[in-house]
Copies of this chain bind each other. A is one copy, B any other.
C-alpha cells in the first residue's frame, strides 16, 4: 500500500516544533518521504524509484500531520470499570471496589474491555500504548486484531502472574516478535504488591536478558512510607539496591520522589511515566516534573486506567502535565507546551522501547495523526503546537494511522469490528458482573 498525504501542514517532532507545508508518503508500514515537496524528484532519483503508483492520495486540506501520541501507562482492560466507583478515598476505591470486581473478570472480559479502549485511543490520536494488566495476552490479541501498537508489560505480583509466565511472555512477544505490532517488556505491578523474592527473581531475569524493568513506583506517600518501614529505603532506592534497574526501565507515576531517587533515575537513564489526571483524581499528588526536566530525566505521559481517570485522552493529560507543574511550582513559566508535546510523541515511544515510532521521518514507522485545524479551538492559526497542548481535544483528531493503516477517520473506525458490537459486549459483561455482586 502506498498512500500520499498532500496539502498538509507538517510537524515532524524530529528536532524542533517548526511547522511547514508539505507531503508525507507512506509505503506499507513505514514513512517513505516527508518534505515540503520541493526535493521530490531528487528524492525519487536517489531512492531509485522510477514510478510511484498511489493506492490512495489524501488531500489534507491544510490540516496538520504529526506523529501519534503514546499512552505510556495504561490498563486497557479497565474500561469496564469506567465511572464504576468515583469519589472514594483511594484505599476504599481499590480494596472495596476495584479489586473485588477485577476478581470476577475472565480473559474474554479483558479482551472486550481492551477492544473498547482501542476505540477510545484512536479517537484521541493515540498510536501506541504501554499496557499493564491482568491478562496481557487478551489485551495483546485485541490490539493485534484491531491494528493498535502495544507494548505489553507484565504486572507480576504476589497474587497474579509469575516469573515463569513473564519469561514465557518475554520469549513470545519480545524476542520472537520484532515485526509485529506487539512487543513485551519485563515488569512487576509494584514494590508493595510483591515479595522480596519475587522482586529479586525479576531483577535476575532482567540480568539474564539484559532487559529494562517497569513498575508502578512512588505513586502515593503511603506507599513510600510503607517501603521505608519494610526495607529502610524508598521504593526506588530499594529496587535499585537489588539490581532491578541495571538495564534501565522506569516507573509509572513517580509522584513522591526524593533527591536520591532522582539521582538514581538520572544515573541509570530511567523513564518517568507521569499520569497527572489519575494522580489528581485519586488525590495522590502532583509529580515534580520540573525537577525531572532539570535533571534531564526522560518524562513521558500515560492516562492510567479508565477506572481512575476516567477517560483515555492524551489532550487532557498534556494540558495537565504543564498546568499542574505550573500550579505546583507557583510559576507559569515552567514546563512549556513544546516540552510536553515531546513527552507525548517522542519520549513515550522511547519508554516503550519503540523508538522508530517517535517522529515523522523517512524510514520511521507510519504512526501518524491528522489534527483538524478547522475547528474553532485551533483558530486563529498561530502557535499551533502550543494550541495542541493547551487547547486541543478529541474533536481535533481527523485521522489516526498506525503501522501504515488508517484505523480512524472522520469519526469512523476501520478496525474489523463495529463499535456497536463492542458496546453490546461490554454492557453485557457489566450486567453479568453486577448480577453476581454481593
Contact = CB atoms under 8 A, between A and B. Distances in A.
Interface in A287-342: 306, 309-313, 315-316, 319, 322-324, 326-327, 329-337
Given A123-B375, A332-B89, A322 B281 contact: yes
B281 A86 contact: no
Q: Which of A90, A285, A379, A427 has the most CB of B within 10 A?
A: A379
A381 B83 CA distance: 9
A90 B394 contact: no
A122 to B, nearest CB: 8
Contact of A319 (B83, B316, B327, B395): B316
B391 A82 contact: yes
A376 B283 contact: no
Number of identical protomers: 2
Contacts of A326: 280-283
A156 interface: no
A106 interface: no
A194 to B, nearest CB: 24
B374 A423 contact: yes
A183 interface: no
A282 B332 contact: yes
A176 interface: no
B380 A332 contact: no
B393 A327 contact: no
Contact of A324 (B280, B282, B285, B322): B280
Interface in A179-200: none
Contact of A310 (B324, B329, B390): B390
A426 interface: yes
Q: Which of A79, A83, A422 has the most CB of B within 10 A?
A: A83
A279 interface: yes
Q: Which of A312, A327, A336 has the most CB of B within 10 A?
A: A327
Interface in A371-411: 374-377, 379-384, 386-387, 390-395
Given A310-B387, A311-B390, A329-B283, A380 B80 contact: yes
Contact of A84 (B84, B336, B382, B423): B382
B313 A393 contact: yes
B116 A382 contact: no
A116 B379 contact: yes
A435 interface: no
Interface in A104-124: 116-117, 119-120, 123
Q: Which of A117, A279, A281, A420 has the most CB of B within 10 A?
A: A281
Contact of A376 (B119, B383, B429): B119
A93 interface: yes
Interface in A330-361: 330-337
Q: Which of A279, A286, A377 has the most CB of B within 10 A?
A: A377
Interface of A: 79-80, 82-84, 86-90, 93, 116-117, 119-120, 123, 277, 279-286, 306, 309-313, 315-316, 319, 322-324, 326-327, 329-337, 374-377, 379-384, 386-387, 390-395, 419-420, 422-423, 426-427, 429-430
14 contacts: A83-B383, A83-B384, A87-B333, A87-B334, A90-B332, A116-B376, A119-B376, A120-B376, A277-B323, A310-B386, A311-B390, A379-B422, A380-B429, A393-B395
